[in-house]
Amino acid sequence: SSILFDMIQLTPHAIDHPIEVSQEEYDQLVRRTENGWSQCENREECLAKLHYLRNGLKQGKIDEATFQEREKLLVLNWWRRSL
């Protein structure tokens, strides 16, 4: 018998190459804080944290200003890392 896992779609608008992770992987990715929460070691971690922030905003757990600041930090830190 096969076990079905709920996969979390990190790239909901991707048509050709969607990126999905399991709930367990997602939880591990969003909890990584070695160099601060806004630092990411890989693409999946960055996408998971952006997904987490967007969900927090949608659910009213964070306000728009907090969301924008945290999203900006994640994206800029990831961008700087790839230079």
Strands (E), 5-52: 7-9, 20-22
Give yes or no for residue 2 having a pLDDT over 50: no
pLDDT of residue 83: 72
| Residue 25 pLDDT class (50, 70, 90 cuts) | very high
Overall average pLDDT of the 5-16 stretch: 84
Overall average pLDDT of the 45-54 stretch: 95
Count of helices and strands (H, E) across the chain: 3, 2
Overall average pLDDT of the 17-41 stretch: 93
What's the mean pLDDT when you consider all of the chain? 90
Overall average pLDDT of the 46-72 stretch: 96
* DSSP class of 11: -
